Structure 1
Amino acid sequence: MHSRRDFLKFVGLAVSGLCFKSSLASDVKNVNNNQLNILLITADDMAYDTPGCFGGNIPNVTPNLDRLAGQGMIFKKAHVNVAVCTPSRSVIQTGRYQHNNGVMEFQLIDNKVPTLTECLHDDGYLNGIIGKATIGGHGPNFENFGDTYKGHWDYLIAGDIDNNFGRNPQLFYEQSNGFFKKANSLGKPFFLMANSHDPHRPFFGSEKEKKNWWIAKSNPAPSKIFTEEEIKVPPFLPDLPEIKKELAQYYSSSRRCDDSIGQVLKSLDDNGLTENTLVMFLSDNGMAFPFAKTNCYLFSTRTPWIIRLPGKIEPGSINESDFISTVDYMPTVLDAVGVKKPEGMDGRSFLPLLKGKPQFDRDAVFTQYNAGSGYVNYNGHGPYRFFTMRCIQTERFGYIFNPWAVTDRHFHTDTHHGLTFSAMKKAAEKDPQLKARISMLMQRTLEEFYDFKNDPAARRNLINDSVYFEKINELRNRLKNWMIETNDPALKAFEQRADVNELEKFMSKQESSSNEYWKGRIAEYKNTIINWENKSSTGIFNIKFKKKADLRVVVRSWGGKTVFDSRTLKEDRLVVDISNYPKGEYIMVLWINEKNLVKKISYQ
């Protein structure tokens, strides 16, 4: 049960979403027809307990987030439904689980699935996105031609060349400021999604960042840089020097993320929009370290979720009991602004919680994982990419189903590419316990069961402990019912989990379907481009294609200035002319349909 002081206290609001919208409008007089504005700010790979307001044990990492939390409400049991970037964000955009929105890995959202931006557009909202834009948008032109594609992004500045790869606080201010001014000039309410690429790898100060010239040369240092001496290692990782070194880089990147968040909020305030804007912040998944991101553990999916609405949300409010997750974001927002919700969403609005009303069936969360980007590339594919997982977590326990674990797969994701996993493997040569833990990470068991209250790091799998058999069966049944209700393709494998052949058949089908999809995408790219010049003595670069495509080229200087930006629809060539600018090296980004490539070019 909640104590009343832990709820948000809305004053004078009626029960329905439509009444909420009307009541709010009567309190606020501004240029956007009194409709509620929506600002969603996301971090990329920030752990639940990194912000101080969520119990972070390293001080002064997120002063802006801590301030935001003090002005609003935090949810202690908030989760994402899948702990990897694009699939996670696709759930936000659709209110549907992966298997119901088409984004089983890094595909586009199914064109038949309504999106949040479509619904808001139809109600007169101006939609904008700044920073990381890979959220599984509809159709072939999502990342390139935001105002022409089905998803209705009216203002799109992707987190690559346009946004200095989503890691520049000053650009977040300037670009959000441009969007807010546009909304004000048009007299429209808005939805803005501001997505930092921090603290995603490569971390600030890492060797990988230094090798990625387009990131290292384009972005400032964070306002505070953390040292190894300040680091406390999370419980799911061993305490090793190289791990502390990488964690210091992670926390420095998290501070730069917070710097960017502060600039977006400052821009909102400078435009006089704070009082009428519902602000939410969350991270798309846990930190990019082993046993966190790309898994279904507690540290994988738990997210720091903050909500602010001045005058309606009591500052410093805390909800410690109710599970909410990203599948609930779209229905909640539509409920809050009084827009009709499309049929078929898996999530449900938690607006009643924001009004201080109880909501039933908020005692658990369902999460999943299918595949990451570890083996996906545009030249071919590695061995296995799919590591299907399904999970239910309650206040105390967590049950995970791993159909891949009885096959010949060995777990691999991008969280294994840094200093931490290398240090773990080296230390494991002399540490049998660590060796066993790495073996568990790589191979798993068909089922896992943890007492997260007493073992949040998931170090002791209790699946064979007879003391918990009743609870294990209870969670198995709840997971099965969820799979039935959501039409999960993994249901048959779950029901026949004792049959190794059935599990292998299921996994092979997932892999085969994915391969066919990506082979088609790779073939499309290879059959499109003929020639892409990267050196010129005249400042003119020619790019030719085998067939007409939707194209965009952006060229920027090392200092971040855009010197060329051209978008064309259904053309077979582009001429890039930077002859009016000084000779030297530049960064060129080429988009073919919705995929982009980055190249360093030389004007000599």
Structure 2
Amino acid sequence: MKPYRTKSFLLFGFALLLTPAMCDTADAGKNVVLLISDNQNKDDCGCYGNAVIKTPHIDRLAREGVRFLDAFATTASCGPSRAVVYTGLQTHANGQYGHGHGIHTYQLAPRIETVFASLRRQKYHTALLGKRHTVPDSAYPFSFDVKVSGRDVIRLGKTAKEFIEQADDEPFFLTIGFVDPHPTSIDRPGWGVNPEQSKAPTVTYDPADVIVPPYLPDQPEVREGLAGYYQQISHLDYGVGEVLRVLKETGKEDDTLVIFTSDHGTSEPGAMGNHYEPGIQVPFIVRAPKGDGGFVAANTTNQALVTLADITPTILDWTNSKGPKYSLHGRSVISVLDDSDAAGWDQVMLSHVAHEVTMYYPMRTIRDRRYKLIWNINWQSEYPLPIDTLRRATWTETIRRGDAKIGLRLIDRYLHRDEIELYDLQNDPQELNNLAGQPSHMQKQRELSQSLNQWMTETSDPWLVRHRLTMPGEDAARSSRQQFFDD
């Protein structure tokens, strides 16, 4: 958990640090396909335990690969999460603090290198089909630059085949950005797959059959929304099947690493834009060919705690490619695919700054196998719900009814948070009982706070210039700014 050390608090000071030595040439026999769903909770596919949703192709991928049980988005917001995926750097370090499209102006900082740029330097063919959320354009050099709707899963498959055939026998890196199951509409009706955007077969679900998670109220509008969400996941699954079929048809199945994940959890309240479990837990499946017609550790589960920051290091490792001249925040999972409970993979760090430009709410989080500590840096302000959440019927109907809770959580506690939140996930999986400040958990709070603070220091977190994570028992009234200069 120590990617590099530096005493500087200057943003991007890490850019001068050298990465561990890697070979100068890529492995021409190793391709990569990265499949990213949009706003999908970990539990919402068959192989992760949902008995209602039909996801035969994702389930097949899990049978042929390794299914990670605890994988996390470092930020539960589409644009910044994808920036983490493509750079291997946490949000506070890569510069894309929030969305970069429309009125939002967040983008990668100068000198930050994406995995697309690294692989292009190694003569890889590169493409990102479907949803992008990638800014600036100069950081994403695609050798095959074709715009395709992320909801048209049939065309995504056809275009993927065109790209792979164009690459011929040369190595390629293909990313598919599906737009499902991101809501097709905020308003009722209209949830679910839009037949005008795709001609793929659809699976419909009865709202009475869906599984309402504890963080949501069991109300008609919620069940209706979940039925549409399930339908979109099955639609996404069809697209995954199309890409897997293309790999087999083109003879690339036996030399292509396939990774399936989501950018973060669902867009419902309590998930998107949060560091609570529904927002950050994502599916994460890795299928790595062995070269003899089989796959590494096929049909196994893995206990390692991983994050989306691990994807770029994994791709660089698999392709034997040289990365940027600074250390990355993630690490390759290739070496632990066949070690279901590898040592040293029992803690993750998460970093969130904003969703859209008006939704600033920075959080830094440390999570181990049992406990989670969240530092809400701007805790004095009311939590700003992402626009996708704020306007959805799940939230608006809850407010209209005058409910005190959203699911099991008090709305007042959801909007007005403590500076430090500490949860025992084993005994309190819904994260309702904040243990921060309680004498019985003072030592655990101190331990996690020290580790989180050390990590922020090592990664040159610029928020440390103005803010300080206090340790239990310290004088919280002391000026953060004064403490910074005293240190």
TM-score, normalising length: structure 2: 0.85
Letter in 1 for 2:127: G
Q: Does 1:263 align with 2:242?
A: yes
Matching residue of 1:474? 447
Offset of residue 217 of structure 1: 2.9
Matching residue of 1:394? 368
Report 1:345-424 matches (<5 A): 345-356=328-339, 360-373=343-356, 376=357, 384-407=358-381, 409-413=382-386, 414-424=388-398
User: Against the structure 1 CA distance between its residues 306 and 95, is the aligned structure 2 distance closer, same or farther, given a 3 Å change threshold?
Assistant: same
Offset of residue 349 of structure 1: 2.0
User: Against the structure 1 CA distance between its residues 64 and 435, is the aligned structure 2 distance closer, same or farther, given a 3 Å change threshold?
Assistant: closer
Matching residue of 2:220? 241
**Would you say the 8 A contact 2:191–2:229 is kept in 1?**
no
Q: Does 1:171 align with 2:155?
A: yes
Letter in 2 for 1:389: M
**Would you say the 8 A contact 1:236–1:291 is kept in 2?**
yes
Larger Rg: 1
Letter in 1 for 2:345: R
Match of 2:93 among 100, 108, 125: 100
Offset of residue 319 of structure 1: 0.6
Match of 1:305 among 264, 275, 284: 284
Match of 2:69 among 56, 67, 76: 76
Letter in 2 for 1:361: G
Offset of residue 79 of structure 1: 1.1
Report 1:537-548 matches (<5 A): none
Offset of residue 346 of structure 1: 1.7
Higher mean displacement: 149-158 or 491-500: 491-500
User: Against the structure 1 CA distance between its residues 436 and 109, is the aligned structure 2 distance closer, same or farther, given a 3 Å change threshold?
Assistant: closer
Q: State the alpha-carbon separation in 1 of the partners of residues 424 and 259 from structure 2.
A: 30
Q: Does 1:63 align with 2:56?
A: yes
**Would you say the 8 A contact 1:450–1:461 is kept in 2?**
yes
Q: Does 1:444 align with 2:417?
A: yes
Match of 1:151 among 110, 127, 140: 140
Q: Extract unaligned runs of 5+ from structure 2.
A: 1-20, 100-105
Matching residue of 1:127? 126
Offset of residue 288 of structure 1: 0.7
Any idea what SS the aligned residue of 1:398 has? strand
Letter in 2 for 1:396: R
Letter in 2 for 1:111: P
Offset of residue 494 of structure 1: 2.6
Q: State the alpha-carbon separation in 1 of the partners of residues 258 and 31 from structure 2.
A: 8
Q: Does 1:44 align with 2:33?
A: no
Q: State the alpha-carbon separation in 2 of the partners of residues 132 and 257 from structure 1.
A: 13
Matching residue of 2:205? 226
Matching residue of 2:165? 181
Letter in 2 for 1:89: R
Matching residue of 1:286? 265
Which 4+ stretches in 1 moved above 4 angstroms? Answer: 16-22, 203-206, 357-360, 430-436, 499-503
Report 1:1-20 matches (<5 A): none
Once the two structures are superposed, what CA deviation does each residue of 1:289-313 show, in whole Å capped at 9, x if it has no partner? Answer: 1111111111211111001123241
Q: State the alpha-carbon separation in 2 of the partners of residues 440 and 258 from structure 1.
A: 36
User: Against the structure 1 CA distance between its residues 67 and 433, is the aligned structure 2 distance closer, same or farther, given a 3 Å change threshold?
Assistant: closer
Q: Does 1:340 align with 2:340?
A: no
Any idea what SS the aligned residue of 1:352 has? helix
Q: Does 1:488 align with 2:461?
A: yes
Any idea what SS the aligned residue of 1:323 has? strand
Any idea what SS the aligned residue of 2:43 has? coil
Offset of residue 410 of structure 1: 4.0
Letter in 2 for 1:415: T
Once the two structures are superposed, what CA deviation does each residue of 1:179-224 show, in whole Å capped at 9, x if it has no partner? Answer: 111111xx311000001000012259953569x9xx6633347521
Q: State the alpha-carbon separation in 2 of the partners of residues 93 and 430 from structure 1.
A: 40
**Would you say the 8 A contact 1:425–1:435 is kept in 2?**
no
Any idea what SS the aligned residue of 2:254 has? helix
- Cα RMSD (Å) of the superposition? 2.8
User: Against the structure 1 CA distance between its residues 415 and 474, is the aligned structure 2 distance closer, same or farther, given a 3 Å change threshold?
Assistant: same
Structure in which a larger fraction of residues adopt strand: 1
Offset of residue 342 of structure 1: 2.4
How many residues are treated as equivalent by the alignment? 445
Q: State the alpha-carbon separation in 1 of the partners of residues 334 and 451 from structure 2.
A: 25
Q: State the alpha-carbon separation in 2 of the partners of residues 395 and 103 from structure 1.
A: 29
Offset of residue 500 of structure 1: 9.0
Any idea what SS the aligned residue of 1:279 has? strand
Q: State the alpha-carbon separation in 2 of the partners of residues 241 and 50 from structure 1.
A: 19
Offset of residue 151 of structure 1: 2.5
Match of 1:193 among 151, 161, 175: 175
**Would you say the 8 A contact 2:313–2:332 is kept in 1?**
yes
**Would you say the 8 A contact 2:214–2:407 is kept in 1?**
no
